[in-house]
Amino acid sequence: METQVIKDTVQRTCLQLQSKLRAAYLYNYAKAKGLLNNEDYKFPAHVPHLDGGTDKWGRNHKPVWPKLADLLLKNECLDAYGFMAFFFSNGNKYKKSHLCKQETVDAYKQSKQVGREVVLSILENDTELFIAACDKVKRWFPENSYEDVWKHVILAEDFQISPLFRYCVAYKQEFYTEADTLMPAALMQYLKNPTAYEQVWDMAIPQTLKDSLSFIHESTPASNVTNEDGLWVNLII
């Protein structure tokens, strides 16, 4: 069950990333060209040299988004818009050949370190919110056991506690049904910066999440997100 959830979430993350990368590229391209102030400008529905297909000169192209999404995912970079903003601000604009290079991703990672400070802040904030939420729910329902109170808090949407913290609590307390529900969202958060989360959250991160990285690093490149005619399929997930 957990293995399949990890595989499905990683695949869905990659597909979402491809869609976001395309949108971010077109936006930043239009911004660099000064097209955004033109009320008549419309983003192109299909760009053969980026989306795959045959261009007006009869040349065939493969989509760049699956390869780029796969590269970014393996490098723990899920911020499509941040990456494209960096790409267009560093002299690489309009050069497709630079998009899928490891050197470009390395430069981006160096320019934007999420770091231990942010992850530590999330942990401290989540801990305070969780304790306060449990106290509140216990006052509301004094007859409930602390186990029931914890289950209520980790699933309640009205408490601003991160999915990863909720999942870690559920897994540690062996609330496996609740943990299965929370895993997809928790995995999405964890994959944004696995190294930092493991350094700061340490033993709180279940091995199931750590194992998810193996599915990324051992996976084949992402499938082309195109239809049978080789045209880009817009993903709304």
d(CA 112, CA 105): 11
Is pTM beyond 0.85? Reply is no
Per-residue pLDDT tens digits for 100-126: 999 999 888 877 665 677 888 999 999
Spatial separation of the C-alpha atoms in residues 103 and 177, rounded to whole Å: 42
Phi and psi angles of residue 53, each rounded to the nearest 5 degrees, phi first: 120, -170
DSSP 100: T
In this prediction, residue 162 carries a pLDDT of 95
Q: Two tokens at 114?
A: 């999420």
Low-confidence ranges of the chain (pLDDT < 50): 217-237
| Total residues found in the chain within this entry | 237
DSSP string, 167-220: HHHHHHTT-HHHHHHHHHHHHHHHTT-HHHHHHHHGGGS-HHHHHHHHHHHTSP
In the chain, where the domains are located: 2-111, 115-191
